[in-house]
Structures are given as structure tokens and as C-alpha cells.
């Protein structure tokens, strides 16, 4: 077995992503010698103790990070600044602070001003997930074959960056490096906009007259079911993602709206060739995803 990357790793937040990291670390044994977990809700901590997926469960967030050489923020991005204010006085010199958030510009904005001297911030984003949440939702295979995007800041310590890259490699991820601005534009298209659309479609269905809505739910085809699966995601997490990636999401939404109107016009005026072209392009994207084993 390889030497553990970290001596003591702390997971702040132990939902789907945090508990999956914990399970990988427990299964492999070469990510950290000791894994600590802390969370806001006592019932979450109680459940983590029952599951036995970490070495130490700590109620006090300050004590949880003390002596850790890596701390991973696994909480909604909207609370990063508040969490950072609480842990900053307790972070050890030489500690690597990283995260799993779906936005990166806001992470840099909220954490950099509060970063203690001697602590390295290496933001990251595992592109993996399900619609489920909580410590029971995690599983060690979650990250296998999925991308983990690392977004180091200018001047970041190369050794610290490599440790975070290696952590995600050992979790089974493929590694990509992007700057925070590019990251936020990419995920706005491939993740945030699809969720926005899914929430909207389900809201539209919910607003239908009661008898029509009953029929929609009773006869839902796979397309609508797929939207409802996405729309079953965590409320706090997605609210914070939308608000903290506002500019990139609105840019992609504007592009999508123009394209949707164009397709709507084609339907209205019977422009079969335009409709066929859009369907073929969709099929092409699907084939490419399958070829890349990302389907």
C-alpha cells in the first residue's frame, strides 16, 4: 500500500460527497492516516458515528481542524465565508485547505481574504454526484471514472497542488486543471443550466390545473422522469450554486433561451430541416459522451 498522502484529514460536512470521500479513505487506507468529520447538525454527527466511516467525529469545528494537514470543505458554497471565519484561527501552518464546491470564483472570493498565513488554498471540484444527500448517500465508487477539476491560484505551492491531485486520483477520478473563471463557465453549461431547466420544468408541471397534473404524473415518460430525478437534488446546495455562479449561469441561460426560441420558431413554421439538424446535433453529443465513457 502506498504511503498516505495526509496524516490527518478533516471533512467539514459529511453529506454525499464528504461521506463518499470518507468511505474511499477507509477502504483504501492510503489517503490519510486519520480522518476527522464534523458537521452542523448533531443528528448528522450521530449518524456518522453509527456508520463508523471515519476515525474521529468532532462536534466542535475548531477542534476538528486542529493539527490537520488537510481540510476539505464539503458544505454548500454559500456558507464558506462563515465556516472559514470559525476555522481560520485553528488551522495549522502548512495545512492545505481545499473544497468540493461546484463554483470556484465564489470560493476564491470568500476564502482568500480570510486565509491565514502559511495555509495553502487549493480549490477543487469533483464532477460526480447523485440526487441523494446525507451521510447515508455516499459510496466509495462515486468518483471512479469521473473528472475532478483542480483550480489552483497563481503562486500556489506545486507540492500542495500535487497532493490534492493525488487525493482525487486515489479516489478514482481523472484529473483536469482549469482556472476558476473557465471552470465556472463550463459547469454553468454542463451542470447548472440543466438543473435550472429541470427545476423549471417540474415547477411548470406543478402549476398545471390539478386534473392535468395528475395525468402528467401518472403517465410520465422517461424524459420527464429524468428531469424529476435531477430536480430531486438538495435545496440549499443548488440555491447557493445558482446565486454564486450568477454571471456564468445567466450567460448560458441567455444562449439557451435564444436557441430554444429558434427551435420553437422552426416548430411553429414547419422548418423540418432545422428541427432535424438540432436532433442530429443532440444525437452527436450523446455519442461523444458514450465514447468518452461519461454517459
Kindly report, residue by residue over 215-267, the tens digit of the pLDDT.
877 777 778 888 888 888 889 999 999 999 999 999 999 999 999 999 999 99
Mind listing the pLDDT tens digit for each residue in 104-115?
A: 999 999 999 999
Q: Report, as an integer, the average pLDDT of 254-283.
A: 96
Q: Residue 293: is its pLDDT beyond 90? A: no
Per cent of the chain over pLDDT 70 is 100
Domain with 193 in it: what CATH number?
A: 1.10.3660.10
Residues 250 and 267 in one domain: yes
The closest alpha carbon to 26, from 43, 9, 12, 45, belongs to: 9
- 118 and 47 in a common domain: yes
- Quick one: 28 and 164 in the same domain? yes
59 belongs to a structural domain: yes
Q: Is 89 within the bounds of a domain?
A: yes
143 and 189 in a single domain? The answer is no
pLDDT at 62: 97
- Count the Cβ atoms, other than its own, within 10 Å of residue 35: 25
Q: Is residue 234 part of a domain?
A: yes
Task: Report if residue 268 sits inside a domain.
Answer: yes
- Do 59 and 142 reside in the same domain of the chain? yes
- Residues 16-36 have pLDDT tens digits of 999 999 999 999 999 999 999
Examine the pLDDT at 295 and tell me if it is beyond 80: no
Count of beta carbons in the 10 Å neighbourhood of residue 78: 19
**Could you tell me if residue 146 is inside a domain?**
yes
Averaged pLDDT of the chain? 94
Residues 135 and 273 in one domain: no
* Residue 154 grid coordinates: 497563481
Residue 1 lies in a domain: no
pLDDT of 209 over the 80 cut: no
Q: Compute the 3-state secondary structure of the chain and give helix, strand, coil in percent, each to the nearest 5.
A: 55, 15, 30
Q: CA 67, CA 69: separation in Å to the nearest integer?
A: 7
User: What's residue 270's pLDDT?
Assistant: 96
| pLDDT tops 80 at residue 1 | no
At 68 the pLDDT is 98
User: Tell me: the pLDDT tens digits for 132-181?
Assistant: 889 999 999 999 999 999 999 999 999 999 999 999 999 999 999 999 99
pLDDT: which is higher, 206 or 27: 27
pLDDT of residue 233: 85
What's the pLDDT score for residue 130? 83
Residue 276 has a pLDDT of: 96
Q: Are 53 and 173 in a shared domain?
A: yes
Q: Can you give the pLDDT at residue 49?
A: 97
Q: Are residues 156 and 187 in the same domain?
A: no
Same domain, 20 and 120: yes
Residue 208 and residue 280 share a domain = yes
Name the domain boundary from 178, 194, 213: 178
178, 196, 221: which is the final residue of a domain?
178
Q: How confident is the model at residue 97 (pLDDT cuts 50, 70, 90)?
A: very high
Last residue of a domain, one of 121, 152, 178: 178
pLDDT, average across residues 58-71: 97
Pair 203, 270 in one domain: yes
Here the CATH number for the domain that contains residue 160 is 3.40.50.720
For residue 82, tell me if it sits in a domain: yes
> Which cell goes with 162?
500535487
228 or 7: which leads in pLDDT? 7
| Residues 171 and 225 grouped into a single domain | no
Predicted pLDDT at 124: 98
Total count of domains within the chain: 2
Q: Which domain holds residue 77?
A: 6-178
pLDDT band at residue 14, thresholds of 50, 70 and 90? very high
The rounded distance, in Å, linking the Cα atoms of 143 and 207 is 36
The answer as to whether 272 is a domain residue is yes
Amino acid at each position: 500500500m502506498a504511503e498516505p498522502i495526509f496524516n490527518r484529514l478533516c471533512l467539514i460536512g459529511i453529506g454525499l460527497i464528504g461521506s463518499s470521500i470518507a468511505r474511499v479513505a477507509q477502504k483504501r487506507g492510503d489517503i490519510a492516516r486519520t480522518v476527522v468529520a464534523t458537521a452542523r447538525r448533531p443528528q448528522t454527527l450521530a449518524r456518522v458515528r453509527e456508520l463508523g466511516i471515519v476515525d474521529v467525529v468532532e462536534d466542535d469545528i475548531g477542534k476538528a481542524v486542529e493539527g490537520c494537514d488537510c481540510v476539505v470543505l464539503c458544505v454548500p458554497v454559500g456558507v464558506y465565508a462563515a465556516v472559514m471565519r470559525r476555522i481560520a484561527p485553528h488551522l495549522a501552518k502548512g495545512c492545505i485547505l481545499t473544497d468540493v464546491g461546484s463554483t470556484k470564483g465564489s470560493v476564491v472570493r470568500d476564502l482568500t481574504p480570510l486565509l491565514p498565513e502559511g495555509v495553502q488554498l487549493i480549490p477543487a471540484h469533483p464532477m460526480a454526484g447523485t440526487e441523494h444527500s446525507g451521510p447515508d448517500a455516499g459510496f466509495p465508487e462515486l468518483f471512479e471514472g469521473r473528472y475532478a477539476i483542480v483550480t489552483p491560484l497563481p503562486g500556489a505551492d506545486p507540492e500542495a497542488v500535487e497532493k490534492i491531485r493525488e487525493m482525487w486520483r486515489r479516489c478514482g477520478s481523472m484529473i483536469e486543471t482549469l482556472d476558476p473563471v473557465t471552470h465556472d463557465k463550463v459547469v454553468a453549461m454542463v451542470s447548472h443550466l440543466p438543473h435550472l431547466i429541470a427545476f423549471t420544468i417540474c415547477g411548470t408541471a406543478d402549476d398545471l390545473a390539478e386534473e392535468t397534473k395528475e395525468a402528467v404524473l401518472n403517465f410520465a415518460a422517461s424524459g420527464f422522469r429524468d428531469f424529476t430525478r435531477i430536480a430531486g437534488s438538495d435545496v440549499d446546495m443548488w440555491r447557493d450554486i445558482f446565486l454564486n455562479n450568477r454571471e456564468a449561469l445567466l450567460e448560458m441561460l441567455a444562449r439557451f433561451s435564444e436557441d430554444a426560441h429558434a427551435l420553437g420558431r422552426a416548430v411553429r413554421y414547419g422548418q423540418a430541416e432545422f428541427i432535424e439538424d438540432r436532433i442530429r446535433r443532440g444525437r452527436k453529443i450523446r455519442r461523444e459522451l458514450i465514447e468518452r465513457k461519461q454517459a
